[in-house]
Amino acid sequence: MTCLCCSLRLREEEAEEPVRLRLQERQQHCHYIHIVFSPTERAMNPDITRERNNATFDVEKLTHILDGSPEKTRRRREIESMVLSDPDFQEEDPNFLSRSERYDQAVRKSAQMILKLREYGIADPEEIYCYKNCVHPDRPEPLDLHLGMFLPTLLNQATPEQMDRFFMPAWNLEIIGTYAQTEMGHGTHLRGLETTATYDPATQEFVLNSPTVSSIKWWPGGLGKTSNHAIVLAQLFTQGNGHGLHAFIVPIRDMDTHVPLPGIVVGDIGPKFGFSEVDNGFLKLENVRIPRENMLMKYAKVEPDGTYLKPPSAKLTYGTMVFIRSMIVGESARALSKSCTIAIRYSSVRHQSEIRPGDPEPQILDFQTQQYKLFPLLAMAYAFTFVGQYMNQTYQRISGDINEGDYSELPELHALSAGLKAFTTWATNSAIEVCRMSCGGHGYSRSSGLPDIYVEFTPTCTYEGENTVMMLQTARYLVKSYRQAKAGQQLSGIVSYLNEPKHQRVQPQPVAARPTVVDINDLVSLVEVYKQRAAILVELAAKSIQQELQRRKCQEDAWNNSSIDLVRASDAHCHYVVVKLFTDKLGEIGDTGIHSVLSTLALLYALDGIKKNSGDFLQAGLLNVPQVLLVSVRVKELLSQLRPNAVALVDAFDVHDKKLNSVLGRYDGNVYENLFEWARRSPLNATEVHESFHKYLKPLRAKL
C-alpha cells in the first residue's frame, strides 16, 4: 500500500494507531507537502519504475539486514510515521528562513518532541534517537546537548545528593543544560584548557574564571541562547595546587527570566557552515561563584576544607568517547546512504548528452564515468553500514565487561573507534561532495538536499576528536602493538596480524622478486593483501621512528617527524578492518540474491581501494603490474554488473522522502515539476518586483 500523497510505502498495521493515519482522508495525511499533485503528476517516473523492475534481489529483505532485523525495520517505520504524520511537527522549509527563524522553529519542534516522547512512552535510547532524527531530519537541534550530554553526565558523575538537586529539574526542562568543554583556543587537546575553578574554603565556593580571551568557552551547542545551566570543564585549584580538569555545574541564566547572571557573558558564536538550528555559544566567566556542592563529585572530591580526593580510576570517562566515536561511524554510513540515494535516483531519471549520435539522450547512469563516480561510493555506504553495526555490537558487548570492572578490551576498541571515526568521516566527507557534483548544476541548489547533508556532516571530521589526532592515536596503539609483537609478546584481537612472523620480515622490494598468489576475484584473498599492506606500513612507520631516534632526535620529535607515515599506517589498518568486516558480513547473509549483489559491492569496494592505492600494493610487492591492470578491468566489469541493481540498492536504505528532503532524490523520480514548484516558493519570489529595483536600479539611469 503506497500513500498517494507522499509515496510512503505503508503496510496495513502502519495505518493504525499510534500512527494515526487516516488513509480514507489521504490528502490530509501529508502535512509537509505544500503542493497538491494532479493524478498524472503523481504517477511514478517510468525510468525509475523500469530500474526497480530490473532489480535481481528482494529490496525489503535487504532493508531488514541493514536495520538489523525485520522487527527493527517495522519499528523504525512506525516511529517515522508517528513523527512524519504529526501536524505538530509540520515545518517551514528551513532553506526559506532566516537564521533566527530556523532557531525558533527548531526550539518549537524540540519542545514538542519532549512532550510527545513522554506521551508515547518512548524511552529506549535508540528509539529516541530515531524519533529525534525524524523531528529534525538529521539536523542537530538546540536541546541536543541537554539530552545527549547534560543529563547523561549527571547520571554518570553526580552524587546521589546532586542527582536529587539537579536531575528532576533537568528532566522537566526547568534546568536546561549544556556541556561546556572546548574553548576558543583549545579543542581536542584537553590538557590545554585554561578555564579555572579555584576553591575558596572561606565561603565553601568555587570561583570560576576565564583568565584569557582564548579561554572563553566556545562552540558548545545550546549554550548561546537555550541553556540556563552549563557543566563547565575547568582546571581545579585548591589549597594552592592544581588538580587538572573537573566538571562543575554552573548556573548561567536566571531560571525565571532567562537573563544572564552576574559575571556571565554568554551568547551565540555567530553563523556557521551548517548547524543553523543550533545556538553554539560562548561563555566568559568573570569571578563566578558556585557552591562547593556544584562540583560533580561522584569520583573526585573537594572536601569543605579544600582537601582534594583523587578519583579511583582514570578510565571512567574513556567509555563515552568510544561510544560517541562508534556512533559517528554509523552517521557516516547514513550520510553517505542519503547522498547516494539522491545521486543515483537522479542519475536514473536525468537524460543528458549522447552516447550514440541520433539516439535519445541516455540516462546519466549509463555513462561509465558516472558509474565510476557513484558505485564505489554506494559500496562504501554498505561497507560503513556494516562497520557501524559491528562497532555498535562490540561496544555493547564490551560495555558489559566494563560495568563489571573488566577494561581489558577497551584499549583496542578505543584505538579502533578513533581510527575508524577518522577513516569513515574523511571518506564520507569527500564522497558527499562527489555525489553532489555528480548531479550537475542542480546539485548546487538547496532543493537537492546535498548542500545540507554536507554542511551538517562535515564537522564530524573535527568534533569528538580531530581526525588527524585520531589517526595518530590509532597509530600509537599500532606501533605499541608492533613493538610488543617484535619483543615476542603474543597479540590478540584485530592487531594480531602484527604477530604473524612472515610480516615481520616483509620488506618493500622489487615486484618481480616476490611470488604473487593473490586471487583478485576472491575476497578472502583480498582481505589478506589489505592485511599485509597494513602490516608493512605499520612496520615502515615504526622504522621511521627508529631512524629518527638514531639521528639523536628525542622520542617526541621522532614521533612528529614520522607522523605522515603513522597516519598512513593507521589509514591502511582501518581500510583493512573495513574490507574484513564487509567480507565477514557476507558470511551471515543467507538469501542468494542479496548475497550475490552484496558480494559484488564488497569486491568493488576492495578492488577500487586497490586501484586508488595501487602504489602501496606495488611498492610492497603484494601485487604485480599485470594484476593491477587486471584490477582496473575488473572494476569496470563490476560497474556494469551493478548497473541494473543501482536504484534498488539505494531504495534498500529506505530513507523516507521527508527525511531525504531532496527534490532530486524523490522516490517517485518526478524531479523537474517539483523543482519548479520548490523554486516558486523562494522568498525572493514573494513580490514580482524586488524593492532594490526602485531603490537603486531605476534611479541609476538618471545618473548615467
Q: Which of 214, 287, 504, 546 binds its own copies (CB under 8 A)?
A: 214
Does residue 103 interact with its own copies by CB under 8 A?
A: yes
Tell me if 203 contacts its own copies by CB under 8 A: no
In the region spanning residues 117 to 156, those forming contacts with its own copies, defined by CB under 8 A, are 118
Binding flag, residue 543, its own copies (CB under 8 A): no
Pick one of 156, 159, 516, 560: the residue that binds its own copies (CB under 8 A).
Answer: 560
264 near 216, Cβ under 8 Å? no
By CB atoms closer than 10 A (0-12, 13-18, 19+), residue 69 is: exposed
Q: Select from 78, 88, 104, 293 the one that contacts its own copies (CB under 8 A).
A: 104
36 is a contact residue toward its own copies (CB under 8 A): no
Burial class (CB in 10 A: 0-12, 13-18, 19+), 86: middle
Options 57-65, 95-103, 399-407, 647-655: segment touching its own copies (CB under 8 A): 95-103
What's the grid cell of residue 638? 563490476
Q: Which of 20, 26, 258, 486 binds its own copies (CB under 8 A)?
A: 258
Residues 422-441 that bind its own copies (CB under 8 A): 429-430, 433, 436-437, 440-441
Residue 311 or 459: the one with the smaller Cβ distance to its own copies is 459
CB of 682 vs its own copies, minimal distance in Å: 4
Name residue 80's amino acid.
E
Stretch that binds its own copies, among 408-416, 446-454, 491-499, 527-535 (CB under 8 A): 446-454
Q: Identify the active-site residue in 194, 464, 528, 539.
A: 464
Residue 286 binds to its own copies (criterion: CB under 8 A): no
How far apart are CB 21 and its own copies at their closest, in Å?
25
* One character per residue 479-518, x = contact with its own copies (rule: CB under 8 A): -----------------------------xxxxxx-----
Return the exposure string of 217-253: e unless at least 16 CB atoms fall within 10 Å of the residue's CB, then b.
bbbbbbbbbbbbbbbbbbbbbbeeeebebbbbbbbbb
Task: Check binding of 202 to its own copies (CB under 8 A).
Answer: no
| CB of residue 697 to its own copies, shortest distance in Å | 6
C-beta of 358 vs 590, nearer to its own copies: 358
- Residue 196 or 445: the one with the smaller Cβ distance to its own copies is 445
- Cβ neighbors of 527 (< 8 A, separation 6 or more) are 576, 579, 580, 583, 606
Q: Does 680 bind its own copies (CB under 8 A)?
A: yes
Q: Tell me whether residue 464 is one of the annotated catalytic residues.
A: yes
Parallel/antiparallel/unpaired status of strands 217-218 and 229-238? unpaired
Q: Is 314 in the site for its own copies (CB under 8 A)?
A: no
List of residues 6+ apart from 343 with CB closer than 8 A? 374, 435, 436, 438, 439, 450, 664, 665
Contact between 115 and its own copies per CB under 8 A: yes
Residue-by-residue DSSP string for 526-585: HHHHHHHHHHHHHHHHHHHHHHHHHTT--HHHHHHTTHHHHHHHHHHHHHHHHHHHHHHH
Q: Applying CB under 8 A, which part among 52-60, 93-101, 148-156, 486-494 lies near its own copies? A: 93-101
User: What minimum distance in Å lies between the beta carbon of 403 and its own copies?
Assistant: 30
Q: Strand pairing of 229-238 and 196-200? A: parallel
Which secondary-structure segment (H or E) carries 270?
A: none
Nearer to its own copies among residue 172 and residue 489 (C-beta): 172
230: which strand partners?
178, 250
The three cell numbers of residue 491 are 597479540
Q: Does 259 bind its own copies (CB under 8 A)?
A: yes
Sign of CA dihedral 66, 68, 71, 74: negative
563 lies in the binding site for its own copies (CB under 8 A):
yes
Known catalytic residues are: 464
